[in-house]
Structure 1
Amino acid sequence: MKPIANIVSATLLACLAPTVPVMAESAEDVPAYAKKLAEAGKLHRLALEYDGETFSGPAMDKLLEEGRKAQFFLIGEEHGIAENPELATALFKQLQPAGYAKLVIEVSPYVASHMDETLRKGGIDGLRNLFARPGGEPAFFGMREEAQFLADVRASSGSSEPLLWGVDYEVASERLLLSALEEMDKPEAAVVKLAALRNASDASWEKYEETRGPQYIFSFSGDPELVQAVKDAWPERSGQAEQLLNTLQQTLEINRLFVGRQILESNAQRSALIRSNFLKHWAAEKARGETPRVMVKLGASHLVRGRNFTEVFDLGPMLHEIATLEGGKAFSVLVLPGLNAQTAVFDPTQFSYRPAPAKDGYAKAARPLYDAAWPDKYTLIDLRPLRSILRSPRSGASASLMKTVHGFDMVLIMSGSTASAELTHP
């Protein structure tokens, strides 16, 4: 592949794969802080039992206890673990009586709303039919367990009120946004400019289908000026149209920065978009006089407290501050695959998921925590009592391990976890 294809593949994998960087550390020379951390982790660990249908045990009790006390329940994940969305389903259902009524996911606001309505009317089969449309399958939810998670929590809500809050850009489903824009009344000049944007998208995807080159995925190859031209020709547009156009433009700008190797700028713009989208959801609820409890399930780096693993401030710090302002708190758990586990990895040349060994960066970055985990069961470790061991960089720990221990309240290591499967659809 050409260099640009390699960059796009790396970008997609960064969006759809692990988010904790590797910590170089020799297994033969375990430093003192790591030994202390592992020893302390064993003192503050709880077992999570899972028989394939039901989660139980002291760790489940602890997670539910923390969730009932929190305004926001944050699940920072390594994507592609089959058992993680199954756990999230169980947690959400059992926390609903405590007031949990919204679920934040890593797609755009429009696509989340569209999936929500599709699930409400047609359940998992409706989602399969949506994903069968060109551009209908968004990132992450083409995994079977992730799709079933959305279907199960939607069905359990017992309400017609919106459940899903999308907060991200749209790496895979911009054609849904274009279709929605095309259905709206607009000036003739905007019709012409929107047609040009659609033609560019179609041409890019046709090239992708011919070559399977990820550099032709439109969200990475499209020109944000095409979106700006539609905006200029449509000055008196609705709030919905503004949201759709803004998502398209931001997506193209963020990915253009990344492909141009302006990585920090790309990550900063994406995190700003995520925060802005959440605040719009939250403000709308407050305007209605509601203060729902919210579960947030995103990639780990989006939810770590403080600067994240890409050195920008993402959604996590803001949620902790909002919770404090509301007189409550946010609770965060980092979910990692077990040693020698497999996760579902996105293949951008096929636009599908396949099982592959879990990235060893997690085992290296969080090695003392893995050393504290049981090898044959899921282990929940409370990180809060461990922070005094890593109270300064002088401890010798890597920045990534410091961020992990201080940035999450607990870590769940799913020893024996398996890879998510592909969701089949017509």
Structure 2
Amino acid sequence: MKILMYAFCVVLLFTTFSLNAQKKEIQLAGYSFEVENLSDQKFIDFVKKRLENSQFTFVGEQHGIKEVGIFTNALYNIAQPYGYHTLCIETDAIAAEKIKEIAASSTPIDNAKKLHQEFQFSIPFYNNEDDYELFTNVVKKQGDIWGIDQTFMVQFRLNFDYIIKTTSHQPLKKKLKELKKEAVMAYQEAITNKDYNAPYIFKYDEKTHKDLLKLAKDEKEIEMINQLWNTKVIYAYNNITKEYYKNNNTRGQLMKSNFLRYYREAKKKNNTPKVIFKLGANHAAKGLTRTNIYDISNMASELAITNDMHSLHFVVMGITGKTATGNPFTPDPVVAFDNTKKFPEEVQKVLPTITKKYYVLDLTPLREHAYSSFSDAFKKVIFKYDVLVLVKNAEAFKGF
């Protein structure tokens, strides 16, 4: 036994020595390029090649910068010949439907502003003019918009209003009118007193939820009401019981089930529906995310493989610049940021050399060098995403 253990240790030491001896610095310049504009043919050709035989494409975004919407719009246009017509975003289904309805109108920006004025901060990531350029483009190209996330915490006003306007069941309509008034008052209290615990979500209880389910008469209404309870549970894990893993995992599972509802319906017309996702960077990562869950992106990557296709995962981050906070309690809705120290050391070395607006790094071919050449932080990026896009002097999106 001692001899075997000694032999094992010798092999292990030799292997470690060999890896260290082979370690060499890989120059990222051979795997990257810069463009000032996403209409540059170099960028278009790069994307086209990677879209071939793909089913799902993810844009993992830094929230609050307008270049992500510009990037997604450019990607959507390039992807049209490859069968991509659906955009999936980080909202619930009702918010996505409202966005699509507004984008199809003759004055989308004006109508989006009206919705925001009536239900302020109900749709947190898309209350801006820049993303509506993307949404109107999707609609003009006869595309669809899916919303797979939980209902936002101050969105109850909007969802109650939606069901009131769409239901034909008068008892349900009457009850929801009462609840909408409560939700509006709760939001005003939250804004006036800067109280995170004042929104109606914290008043929505199990009895109220069950009462609404008894009044609902069709499957769609029942599903919309159940989504309210799902978000109540998810926020409670974060704000009340501090069970952060449950918060992230339950939300991830909800996004998967919401996506599959859309997906199964789409399969009735096309056996392999193609979707572009615009989500927070963590939601777009393959494998175990930094919140220790296997998110919607990982499920989609495996689903594509079962269809003999693949998924494509971009992460788009600003280097420095300004971002919109999306926080109704902050005195300044736009703040400066500097991400330089947050990037892996290999990327930090490249930053001073970047001269154009967009820096594009192809991560996929770097994987064969990952274990002998790169830091642990960079390895995580290499295996979670396929392409890193850095934005120089990022701008905050133009909020309503």
TM-score, normalising length from structure 1? 0.80
- The amino acid of 1:259's aligned partner reads N
Q: Which residue is 1:349 aligned to?
A: 329
Q: Which residue is 1:328 aligned to?
A: 309
In the superposition, relative to structure 1, how do residues 202 and 80 fare at CA in structure 2: closer, same or farther (>3 Å)? closer
- The amino acid of 2:168's aligned partner reads D
Q: 1:185 aligns with which of 161, 168, 185?
A: 168
Pair 1:410-2:387 in alignment: yes
Runs of 4+ with >4 A deviation = 190-193
In the superposition, relative to structure 1, how do residues 120 and 240 fare at CA in structure 2: closer, same or farther (>3 Å)? same
Q: Which residue is 1:397 aligned to?
A: 376
What is the root-mean-square deviation in Å for CA atoms of aligned residues? 2.7
Q: Which residue is 1:116 aligned to?
A: 100
Pair 1:241-2:218 in alignment: no
Q: 2:36 aligns with which of 33, 49, 59?
A: 49
Pair 1:144-2:124 in alignment: no
Secondary structure of the structure 1 residue equivalent to 2:376: coil
1:102 positional shift = 0.3
- The amino acid of 2:190's aligned partner reads Y
In the superposition, relative to structure 1, how do residues 199 and 55 fare at CA in structure 2: closer, same or farther (>3 Å)? same
Deviations 1:349-408 (A, max 9, x none): 1598313214x3x6424332242354222211111222244339x97624xx43321010
In the superposition, relative to structure 1, how do residues 228 and 124 fare at CA in structure 2: closer, same or farther (>3 Å)? same
In 1, Cα distance between equivalents of 2:387 and 2:312: 9
Q: Please show how residues 110-259 of structure 1 align to structure 2 within 5 Å.
A: 110-122=94-106, 123-135=108-120, 137-155=122-140, 157=141, 159=142, 163-171=144-152, 172-183=154-165, 184-186=167-169, 188=171, 190=172, 194=176, 197-219=179-201, 221-234=202-215, 237-259=217-239
- The amino acid of 1:322's aligned partner reads L
In 2, Cα distance between equivalents of 1:421 and 1:366: 30
1:127 positional shift = 2.2
Secondary structure of the structure 2 residue equivalent to 1:170: coil
Secondary structure of the structure 2 residue equivalent to 1:347: coil
Deviations 1:402-426 (A, max 9, x none): 3321010110111232222223xxx
Q: Which residue is 2:354 aligned to?
A: 375
Q: Which residue is 1:24 aligned to?
A: none
In the superposition, relative to structure 1, how do residues 138 and 351 fare at CA in structure 2: closer, same or farther (>3 Å)? farther
Pair 1:80-2:60 in alignment: no
In 2, Cα distance between equivalents of 1:187 and 1:230: 14
In 1, Cα distance between equivalents of 2:239 and 2:381: 28
- The amino acid of 2:349's aligned partner reads D
Pair 1:297-2:278 in alignment: yes
In the superposition, relative to structure 1, how do residues 351 and 187 fare at CA in structure 2: closer, same or farther (>3 Å)? farther
Secondary structure of the structure 1 residue equivalent to 2:36: strand
In the superposition, relative to structure 1, how do residues 296 and 232 fare at CA in structure 2: closer, same or farther (>3 Å)? closer
In the superposition, relative to structure 1, how do residues 229 and 199 fare at CA in structure 2: closer, same or farther (>3 Å)? farther
Secondary structure of the structure 2 residue equivalent to 1:215: coil
TM-score, normalising length from structure 2? 0.84
In the superposition, relative to structure 1, how do residues 96 and 226 fare at CA in structure 2: closer, same or farther (>3 Å)? farther
1:193, 1:229 within 8 Å by CA — same for their partners in 2? Answer: no
Instruction: State the identity as a percent.
Output: 21
In the superposition, relative to structure 1, how do residues 57 and 417 fare at CA in structure 2: closer, same or farther (>3 Å)? farther
In 2, Cα distance between equivalents of 1:283 and 1:335: 29
Q: Which residue is 1:91 aligned to?
A: 75
1:90 positional shift = 1.6
> Greater relative contact order: 1 or 2 (C-alpha under 8 angstroms, separation 6 or more)?
1
1:126 positional shift = 2.6
2:57, 2:313 within 8 Å by CA — same for their partners in 1? Answer: yes
List runs of 5+ in structure 1 lacking aligned partners: 1-31
1:222, 1:252 within 8 Å by CA — same for their partners in 2? Answer: no
1:92 positional shift = 0.8
- The amino acid of 1:369's aligned partner reads V
Secondary structure of the structure 1 residue equivalent to 2:217: coil
In 1, Cα distance between equivalents of 2:123 and 2:205: 20
In 1, Cα distance between equivalents of 2:55 and 2:66: 26
List runs of 5+ in structure 2 lacking aligned partners: 1-19
In 1, Cα distance between equivalents of 2:116 and 2:85: 25
